[in-house]
Amino acid sequence: MTPGKDRLAGQIAVITGGASGIGLASASLFAQEGAALVLIDRNADELAMAGDALQREGATVLTLQGDVGDETTVEAHLAAILARFGKVDVLLAAAGFSMGTATPDTTLEAWNAVIRTNLTGSFLWCRAVLGPMRAARSGSIILVGSQLAFAGGRANVAYLASKGGVVSLMQALAVDHATEGIRVNAVIPGAIDTPLLRRSFGRSPDPAAAKARSVARHPLGRLGLPEEVAKAVLFLAGSDSSFTTGSCLRADGGWLAG
Bridge partners (DSSP) listed for residue 13: 37, 90
Do 119 and 169 touch, CB atoms closer than 8 A?
yes
Catalytic residue among 159, 201, 235, 255: 159
**What radius of gyration, in Å, describes the C-alpha atoms of the chain?**
17
Q: How far is CA 23 from the centre of its chain?
A: 6
Rounded to an integer, what distance in angstroms lies between the CA atom of residue 94 and that of residue 171?
17
Element (H, E) at 133: helix 121-136
Angle at 29 between CA 159 and CA 230, to 5 degrees: 30
Sheet-wide strand order for 182-189: 61-65, 36-41, 12-16, 90-93, 139-144, 182-189, 248-251
For 33, residues 6+ apart whose C-beta sits below 8 A from its C-beta are 4, 5, 6, 7, 8, 9, 234, 238
Active site (annotated) includes residue 246: no
Do 200 and 153 touch, CB atoms closer than 8 A?
no
Closest by Cα among 58, 13, 20 to 42: 20
Residues with catalytic function: 159
